[in-house]
Chains A and B, each alone.
Chain A
């Protein structure tokens, strides 16, 4: 299965936007993992900007970065949102409220608790009626998103946006579900080669587990290993300076997803 990458978005500790991150990922600039500042995207109406939670800010930031870089209008683009566990802070607040005698759940928190909250806010910000799905395959969610993308592109979709986002849970949930760093990544993927394409990807499922491509810089490798969206970093590194190379992602603990990357 073949697809083309037109643009990317990235936000994480020491990875502030795709343009700046390219140099970091290719070793041209040092990785300094500073704290990440999240803001509600300006394309959201003011009332929605006040309601969004951190995961939505993160997902919309990287998604909008990728779409803006492609020069495409966001309203016609199908979207796939993936996350290992959505917004842990919202879940924490709800479970805390439910553990108290009054059980007062905030209605905004409740609607923000659905796994497709970023997709819902995205459609409002992008004014898009295009199809959207929200998937979870725990730590293998990014690979699951790529496979869904290949299905949609095979089905005839011309362009789609894949957004992966994961951020740490607050305590005490953090001990049961540890996540390293705030990290969002987005790829604008195409069915056919365009003039602006940066790379071609060829996907292949393999039955051999444990072949995942790692990163050399310890601080980046810690993000890759500790954050499900970090599993996208080896691919993003390959896209930062495209050359013919193979990137392998772990898949479901029983296999691998091999990606043949070639410059366009």
Chain B
């Protein structure tokens, strides 16, 4: 692909609000995970929650969109001069030439969950429940488009946990096809009972903070977060520290709805496709931010695919022990943490991983490592066997 510039970006997770807070937490090795006290959930698990008190209602002119997911998206968007970068781009390109391509897995489903508890005696939902503006997947895209006054093409990618990695592919193609000149990419996924109890029903929730690639790993910790970036053709250095999108690879497992291919067939195809798209060989990748959810099956499948392509040479780690698994937002979180690695010359280690699983033959980093990578890859794999790998490089 023709490289594009990620000229501004931001990230909000349980580690903190904005890039600096996330970076500080990684450098100081502070996890965002805590025992689950979300809403009325009664589950023996840990979550990476953004404090409720930080999630201010959405801007008053957009009140119908008010829900946890859009509040989280708004909080993220208000950091790191992201709104200013979009306002500048709006002037530069015109509002109709800026696309919105964002990912979410569950959008504002929490609003529907809560509405179901407030049904009247006839079973009807409360009158104040607005499905289209909260629960619907497009709510996120529509909210951001309205919030930023953008009139370009817009779509929401919802492919479970690969959603906000795949946005890089869709947005890049949109720009290449001439549908827009720049695009807001990213995603948001917020805590809800559907994913907490759903992953609980699959027996995939760890009772401890998740331990990616550990011999004793036994499941995920769910987190929430939102991240955004401005993708454009021209090197936009106005906001400093931009990185380049070099390649995107996508594939399907064709194996099972909720279990990854045991030999990582789909993961390997996605990583190889990302390398091909970037015109790079495996040995030119300096670091991989792994999907690394901490389930038995995911880490084994991914490690096999990484070993097959990269051998045991390329440093890699999962950051989910710090943030939790952000589900539909994990792709953008991984991409932005990779951008921070490129910018700061630092590879994040892994939280909670004590004893590496010797069956996983990859060069897994437990400790932070000072190193200035030039090109990095991040992985996001999801239910339905949906895989995506993204390659970023220094500008």
Contacts and interface: CB of A to CB of B under 8 A. Distances in A.
Interface stretch (B73-81, B111-119, B290-298): B111-119
Interface of A: 1, 48, 51, 84-86, 91, 94-99, 103-107, 110-117, 119-121, 123-124, 126-138, 140-141, 144, 147-148, 150-152, 154-155, 171-173, 175-177, 205, 207, 251-252, 254-255
A113 B194 contact: yes
Q: Which of A105, A177, A205 has the most CB of B within 10 A?
A: A105
B119 A172 contact: yes
A1 B178 contact: yes
B366 to A, nearest CB: 32
B153 interface: yes
A154 B177 contact: yes
A91 B109 contact: yes
A51 B256 CA distance: 11
Contact of B198 (A94, A129, A251): A94
Contacts of B269: 129
Nearest to B173: A151
Contacts of A91: 109, 112, 135
B202 A110 contact: yes
B154 A252 contact: yes
Q: How large is the interface on B (under 10, 10 to 19, 20 to 34, 35 or more residues)?
A: 35 or more
A175 B130 CA distance: 10
B176 A133 contact: no
B254 A128 contact: yes
A255 B199 CA distance: 40
B170 A128 contact: no
B150 to A, nearest CB: 10
B132 A98 contact: no
B147 interface: no
A84, A119, A129, A175, most chain B CB atoms within 10 A: A129
Nearest to A99: B116
B383 to A, nearest CB: 5
Nearest to A144: B155
B170 A133 contact: yes
Contact of B157 (A133, A175, A255): A133
Nearest to A95: B116
Given A105-B197, A138-B142, A171-B123, A114 B158 contact: yes
Interface string B134-161: 0111110110010000010111111110
